[in-house]
Structure 1
Amino acid sequence: MTSALLAAVAVAVAVAIQLASGSGFGLLAAPLLLLVEPDAVPVPLLLVTVPVMLVAAWQDRSGLAGGFELGRVVATAVPAAVLTAAVAPQVLAPATVLALGVLEVVVAGAALTGWRCADVPVVAPAAGLASGALAALVATPGLPVLVVYRNPAPAAYRANLAVYYLVITVASISFIQGLRGIGPDALAATARLLPGVVAGWPLGAWLAGLVPGRQLRPAGLTLAALAGVALILKAAASCDRGR
């Protein structure tokens, strides 16, 4: 199986998980793509995130009836994404990949075991800073938001997260385009990922009706932990090749 086909399969699975659980697209797709097609992270993955989140927001649009609930997170996430895009290296060093992987495993694991961050005003902006930086680095803004955001209504949970991811992604792409442009290689890699979006859409729409609302957040955190393990393995493999 070629790397392009593996990348499309990874995206299809990530799309299905996103539409079903409300999160997981970047958390799952980025580590898998770093393993099979590293050039697809972050810019091509950010580009395909836009149609995925548009579909996700439309699928659960009824959940936005009460309004958008992640404004305080967006307020700091957008500047953080812009700043990180300006200074982030084109190719992530193994040490950076390792640090990201450890962060995802530790934070997601703690949240799954019952840890709750304090409900104080500074938490949401802090989550936004971390989320925006991760969006520009590896197209995975989900983990900090999953830790702080809770909504028992499945449609509202999925819709708010989809809109949030869409806003942060568009901000990251816009600044990257303005700063250094998006070249033909990135556009070609994006095109190779699009069949995965098309394939994962109907599967995710079907799965969305099967996932119990109380399982949405644990499912997203579990994916974050697994994604962190994949990043750690990626960093370890890179270090072995460098010896």
Structure 2
Amino acid sequence: MAELALYQILLANLVVLAGACLQGVVGYGIGTLSAPLLFLISPVLVPGPLTLNATLLTVMMLARNRMAVRVREVRLAIGGGVVGTCLAAATLMAISPRGFELIFGVLILVAVGLSVAGWRPRLSGRSSVLAGMASTFMGTITAVGGPPIAMIYQNERGPLVRANMSAFFLFASLLSLSALAFSGYLGAREWLLFLVTFPGVIAGFLLSAHFVGRIDGERLRGLILGVAGLAGAAALTRGLLSL
């Protein structure tokens, strides 16, 4: 591809493989881990191509965990997600490519900050709406929508977490893709980049089946957030240097 060298395509597949495997085990993570690293490989890999990959992953995960879905909280989170998506679309239409780099870096660091803050809100209707709004706003712009919605599921069972978050992420991804297409961030280039990177998502999802119940997600949390934080800081620096 003219946009990417072969080594960049291979690296991108490895990154989404790791993110998809992580999400298959703990319920979220493809955005938190993969987005900042993909941005450093090439900014064209986010948000559109990664959001397409995340959509494919959530379909597969929902099929695997569909029996554990609890509909009420998902419905309310999706309602908040509609508002967040509209705000994100307006933001994308208003900012320049340099502004995108800056806001991308800032939101990555916000996502990491939310993940390490230690705040444990109770799963309720109100928290579902607010988390859904924040998740889709961040997810549309950066493809990292996991931390806000993950915060309200910190105290829930593994199957419920994977099922409800997969159901939410499916609708959120569809909303985000609509916003990206409307704002000019999802076109033929992004679909082509998705086609050369989705094998990594398939491989990561299949690999995750061997680790469900065997790996404690909390043990990986610090490493994942550290990688995301460093990559987010690098993205922000890159945006500042381009001013």
Tell me the TM-score normalized by structure 2: 0.84
C-alpha displacement of 1:192: 1.6
Structure 1 position 175 matched with structure 2 position 179: yes
Q: Summarize the Cα distance change of 1:95–1:173 in structure 2 as closer, same or farther, 3 Å threshold.
A: closer
Alpha-carbon RMSD: 2.6
What is the alpha-carbon distance in structure 2 between the residues aligned to residue 24 and residue 121 of structure 1?
24
C-alpha displacement of 1:164: 0.6
- Is the 8 Å Cα contact of residues 132 and 168 (structure 1) preserved in structure 2? yes
The answer for the alignment partner of 1:59 in structure 2 is: 64
Give the counterpart of 1:34 among 39, 51, 68.
39
Structure 1 unpaired stretches of 5+: none
- Is the 8 Å Cα contact of residues 21 and 220 (structure 1) preserved in structure 2? no
Structure 1 position 126 matched with structure 2 position 127: no
Structure 1 position 71 matched with structure 2 position 45: no
Aligned residues: 235
Percent sequence identity is 25
Give the counterpart of 1:109 among 116, 127, 132.
116
- Is the 8 Å Cα contact of residues 22 and 162 (structure 1) preserved in structure 2? yes
For 2:209, what is the secondary structure of its paired residue?
helix
- Is the 8 Å Cα contact of residues 146 and 220 (structure 1) preserved in structure 2? no
C-alpha displacement of 1:34: 0.5
Q: Summarize the Cα distance change of 1:152–1:84 in structure 2 as closer, same or farther, 3 Å threshold.
A: closer
The answer for the alignment partner of 1:227 in structure 2 is: 228
The answer for the alignment partner of 1:139 in structure 2 is: 143
Give the counterpart of 1:166 among 151, 170, 173.
170
Tell me the TM-score normalized by structure 1: 0.84
Structure 1 position 203 matched with structure 2 position 207: yes
C-alpha displacement of 1:44: 1.1
C-alpha displacement of 1:37: 2.1
Q: Summarize the Cα distance change of 1:33–1:76 in structure 2 as closer, same or farther, 3 Å threshold.
A: same
For 2:210, what is the secondary structure of its paired residue?
helix
Structure 2 unpaired stretches of 5+: 1-5
